[in-house]
Chain A
């Protein structure tokens, strides 16, 4: 079964509203989670690194005030798209690491499709 779960899998919202996406590690503690964005027919682009108990680290060009990341527990990271606009419509995917090494211990969620009308 899935070891990393995202919710919701699909969400449609009106322009100007905020949307929260959850990423949960189901049977392990993840001190670090990662958020990616994927536009149609494109690759995954890393947005930010979510660290439990501290501020997220954002990649260059990603607005931290627009994409709020909270990693309040060892099993949950949330991404909030604030004041969403149609150009924010995308597939958002999280990943989480389990263990001290990356080999075979990096798991992806099933993604959350955001559509902003």
Chain B
């Protein structure tokens, strides 16, 4: 079946640096994408989302970029802090009859060193 994948399984950065986490997706029918943060032993925590009619969306310290041409999604975290250390997942939704169903990428472990 189609899936969402990530290029880098781990990412280590220094506190204060900017982090970029990448994601490739394969389902061209997907029209909604979400980035989640998951801390150990907890459920996914919503970070930011973007619809396919947009190519960029900004939140507090985070920016999501969507390139539909190459089916690529990225999450940029500005001024990364130790509290940002977690596993980050991208997820996609194809909408329609699959409304609410998410396909998750493999995840990237972000480690922020003080």
Contact = CB atoms under 8 A, between A and B. Distances in A.
Contacts of A97: 99-100
A48 to B, nearest CB: 10
| Majority SS at the chain B contact face | loop
Contacts of A106: 34, 46, 100, 102
A34 B44 contact: no
Interface in B61-114: 89, 93, 95, 99-107
| Majority SS at the chain A contact face | strand
A49 B101 contact: yes
Interface residues of B, number: 24
Contacts of B41: 91, 111, 113
A52 to B, nearest CB: 13
A54 interface: no
Interface of B: 1, 32, 34, 36, 41-46, 49, 51, 89, 93, 95, 99-107
